[in-house]
Structure 1
Amino acid sequence: MKPPRTTTPRRALGDRFEGAALSFLQARGLRLVQANFLCRHGEIDLVMREGEVVVFVEVRYRRGAAFGGALASVTTAKRRRIVSAAHIWLTGRPLDARRPCRFDVVGFEGERMEWVRGAFDGDW
């Protein structure tokens, strides 16, 4: 049994923006498969389906555009962790492992949101 997630102000803020991203994506026809998949390689915020495509979504929040903003905060190292976690997720789901996959980022800067489909690929 997993221990309950600790609710800190930072975690609560993350949950708020993950919820906003989820609502936005669902309104555009994506279907939630799993939220907050956690493994030894890291966490995938949202695993969704758009038709036959499995979509792994990273949600990022920054107060403003300093240091490149929310989208730029998804570094090469973070991308590698997301891709590794996606491989673990797919390993346990042989049917989904045969489907095409995509890695999206939903970035928030303040209240402004940007959705980048296919923000990076899984070739690591």
Structure 2
Amino acid sequence: MGNEKSKNNQVTSTDKGQITELFAEQYLLQQGMTPVARNFHARQGEVDLIMLDGETLVFVEVKYRKNTSFGGAIAAIPVSKQNKIKHCVTFYLHQAGLNEYNTPCRVDVIALVGDINQPQVTWLKNAF
């Protein structure tokens, strides 16, 4: 997967987001998951990926950090961000006509660290 560069030959944060989300999606496809949606927006925020793991809907937050300074990618998901993701999950389920109490679902985090083209992957299932 090559870097998509902007006019000034720098990889923008938007580019990084797209590159890392595609990397994470490909990784999860290799683990046998099925894509449902990408970049689902709700008023409260966004869910990067929605995948299906068997019968379970998986809402995936993708975080990338070049290195592990300042706690790395996993530390970049504070409680406020977790709450926004939970609101998005609820909104998605309601919009899809699914009962949030009877629909098997979880929130996973894919933390990517290092080279943006071949990062080290940490997959936290049911992260919060």
TM-score exceeds 0.5:
yes
Matched position secondary structure for 2:77:
coil
Higher relative strand content: 1
| Alignment partners' CA distance in 1, 2:71 and 2:104 | 30
| Count of residue correspondences | 114
RMSD of aligned C-alpha atoms? 1.5
Report the CA distance between 1:94 and its aligned residue.
2.1
1:46/1:83 CA distance change after superposition, 3 Å:
same
Alignment of 1:31-110 (within 5 A): 31-95=34-98, 97=100, 98-110=102-114
Q: Report the counterpart of residue 124 of structure 2 in structure 1.
A: 116
Report the CA distance between 1:112 and its aligned residue.
1.2
User: Which consecutive unaligned segments of at least 5 residues does structure 2 have?
Assistant: 1-5
1:32 and 1:48 in contact (8 A); partners too: yes
The structure with the larger Rg is 2
User: Alignment identity in percent?
Assistant: 36
Query: If the length of structure 1 is used for normalisation, what is the TM-score?
Result: 0.87
Higher relative helix content: 1
Alignment of 1:3-14 (within 5 A): 9-14=12-17
Query: If the length of structure 2 is used for normalisation, what is the TM-score?
Result: 0.84
User: Which consecutive unaligned segments of at least 5 residues does structure 1 have?
Assistant: 1-6
